[in-house]
């Protein structure tokens, strides 16, 4: 049983030496447990937060802990009522080949309905993040302008496509011309902007002639600075993630812009609301039903970026934080 543990807390960008690949005996399931073999491991930006000791919405990992992660696994052996060998399940087995589970958080998948790994992306946690954040906090109305960055990732791509389904104009921000082309040609965004272009703020203003009604915040940093002056009165900002800052070690230099922000919140009556997808757990069924239907009808599309081999997970996570992934980042653990 290979497993990858947290070897050291990263300072700034994670390094390969912050992870360690270990081998251990395959665990034995006790009565009331199943033995799982990992097929797919999801890599997600939140993992950077768990590696750090800073206080957050979830408990940090301890040094030596197996890295956390959403997984699709097959049941190898079952001593748990309701599960049988051969079942395919979605759960949180983490960065390892085998794990035992008492069934908590396990969801059986029907491989006939959709490729099983979509339960980690478009039909899973990232898709649900987009859906619940946009619908509950963004509250899109036809004709409004919705802006999202990290727009080719599993969260951003769903935000833009759902916005379009709700009759909005969707503007996506992504790193590089290939990703921008994908937004327009494959996902149907109305405009796409490369955040690495030196004139990104001007391009964004041009793409949003009527201002911005909803900014789905995935990144922070320079993108937020470009968005901020374009926000309309009563704009809504679901604050979902700040991936541009996850590797920060100190506050950015420069003047204190907090008073300017608060003054705009007041005078433009902005709604900024942070959320964690679990806050909307009661909407999981609505999401599952709507998203599967959109997928079946071809009204939403998704893209996967697959890395082979558990041993390559650390480098892939390091790359995710720098935008090297193109689509939902997955590790195929079992060939
Ligand atoms: P992605 O697959 O989109 O990966 C992150 C992307 O962020 C990179 O590919 C890169 O894309 C972009 N990025 C990185 N640095 C910067 C930067 N400095 N400026 C602009 N873009 C940058 O990730 P997800 O779709 O899984 O997640 C998107 C966001 O949603 C993250 O912030 C994540 O933490 C958050 N999230 C929040 C949840 C919640 O419950 N609140 C749940 C799930 C995710 P590019 O090349 O286009 O720049």
**Number of Cβ within a 10 Å radius of residue 309:** 13
Whether 69 and 27 map to the same domain: the answer is yes
Ligand 1 lined by 316 (C-beta under 6 Å):
no
Q: Assess if residue 287 is contained within a domain.
A: no
Give the pLDDT confidence of 33-57 residue by residue, as tens digits: 999 999 999 999 999 999 999 888 9
pLDDT class of 100 with cuts at 50, 70, 90: very high
Whether 67 and 88 map to the same domain: the answer is yes
Pocket test of ligand 1: the residue of 42, 153, 220 to mutate, having most ligand atoms within 8 Å of its CB, is: 153
Q: Assess if residue 99 is contained within a domain.
A: yes
Whether 243 and 323 map to the same domain: the answer is no
316 Cα to the center of ligand 1, angstroms: 14
Q: Assess if residue 65 is contained within a domain.
A: yes
Nearest CA to ligand 1 atom 32: 241
| pLDDT at residue 242 in the model | 97
CA 326 to chain centre: 12
Give the pLDDT confidence of 112-152 residue by residue, as tens digits: 999 999 999 999 999 999 999 999 999 999 999 999 999 99
Whether 130 and 236 map to the same domain: the answer is yes
Whether 98 and 156 map to the same domain: the answer is no
Give the pLDDT confidence of 305-326 residue by residue, as tens digits: 999 999 999 999 999 999 999 9
Q: Assess if residue 289 is contained within a domain.
A: no
Q: Assess if residue 290 is contained within a domain.
A: no
Whether 107 and 131 map to the same domain: the answer is no
299 Cα to the center of ligand 1, angstroms: 23
| pLDDT at residue 6 in the model | 98
pTM of the predicted model as reported, rounded to 2 decimal places: 0.96
- Domain count for the chain: 2
Whether 32 and 92 map to the same domain: the answer is yes
Pocket test of ligand 1: the residue of 154, 177, 218, 223 to mutate, having most ligand atoms within 8 Å of its CB, is: 218
Give the bridge partners for 153, in sequence order.
none
Q: Assess if residue 291 is contained within a domain.
A: no
Whether 142 and 273 map to the same domain: the answer is yes
Which domain, by its residues, includes 193?
A: 125-279
Give the pLDDT confidence of 62-79 residue by residue, as tens digits: 999 999 999 999 999 999
| pLDDT at residue 252 in the model | 84
**C-alpha span between 290 and 282 (Å, rounded):** 14
Whether 197 and 308 map to the same domain: the answer is no
Indicate which CATH number applies to the domain containing 193: 3.40.50.720
ipTM of the complex: 0.99
Indicate which CATH number applies to the domain containing 36: 3.90.180.10
Whether 236 and 165 map to the same domain: the answer is yes
Whether 258 and 326 map to the same domain: the answer is no
Q: Assess if residue 284 is contained within a domain.
A: no
Q: Assess if residue 288 is contained within a domain.
A: no
pLDDT value at 254 more than 90: no
pLDDT value at 335 more than 90: no
Whether 142 and 211 map to the same domain: the answer is yes
| pLDDT at residue 187 in the model | 98
């Amino acid at each position: 049983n290979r497993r990858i543990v947290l070897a050291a807390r990263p300072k700034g960008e994670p390094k390969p030496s912050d992870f360690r690949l270990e081998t251990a005996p395959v665990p034995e399931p006790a009565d009331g447990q199943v033995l799982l073999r990992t097929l797919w491991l999801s890599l997600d930006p939140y993992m950077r937060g768990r590696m750090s000791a800073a206080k957050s919405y979830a408990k940090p990992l301890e040094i030596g802990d197996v890295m956390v992660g959403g997984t699709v696994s097959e049941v190898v052996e079952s001593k748990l009522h309701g599960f049988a060998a051969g079942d395919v399940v979605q759960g949180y087995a983490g960065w390892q080949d085998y794990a035992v589970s008492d069934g908590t958080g396990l969801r059986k998948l029907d491989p006939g309905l959709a490729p099983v790994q979509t339960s980690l992306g478009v039909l899973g946690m990232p898709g649900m993040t987009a859906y619940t954040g946009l619908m509950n906090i963004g509250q899109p109305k036809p004709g409004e302008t919705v802006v999202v960055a990290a727009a080719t990732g599993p969260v951003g791509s769903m935000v833009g496509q759902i916005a379009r389904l709700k009759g909005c104009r969707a503007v996506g921000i992504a790193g590089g011309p290939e990703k921008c082309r994908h937004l327009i040609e494959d996902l149907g965004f109305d405009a796409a902007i490369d955040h690495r272009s030196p004139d990104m703020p001007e391009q964004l203003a041009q793409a949003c002639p009527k201002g911005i009604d909803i900014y789905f915040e995935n990144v922070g940093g320079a993108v937020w600075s470009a968005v901020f002056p374009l926000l309309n009165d009563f704009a809504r900002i679901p604050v979902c993630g700040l991936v541009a800052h996850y590797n920060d070690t100190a506050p950015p230099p420069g003047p204190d812009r907090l008073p300017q922000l608060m003054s705009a919140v007041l005078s433009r009556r902005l709604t900024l609301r942070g959320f964690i997808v679990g806050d909307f757990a009661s909407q999981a069924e609505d999401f599952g039903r709507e998203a599967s239907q959109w997928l079946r009808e071809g009204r939403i599309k998704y893209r996967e970026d697959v890395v082979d081999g558990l041993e390559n997970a650390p480098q892939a996570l390091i790359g995710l934080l720098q935008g090297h992934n193109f689509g939902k980042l997955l590790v195929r653990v079992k060939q």
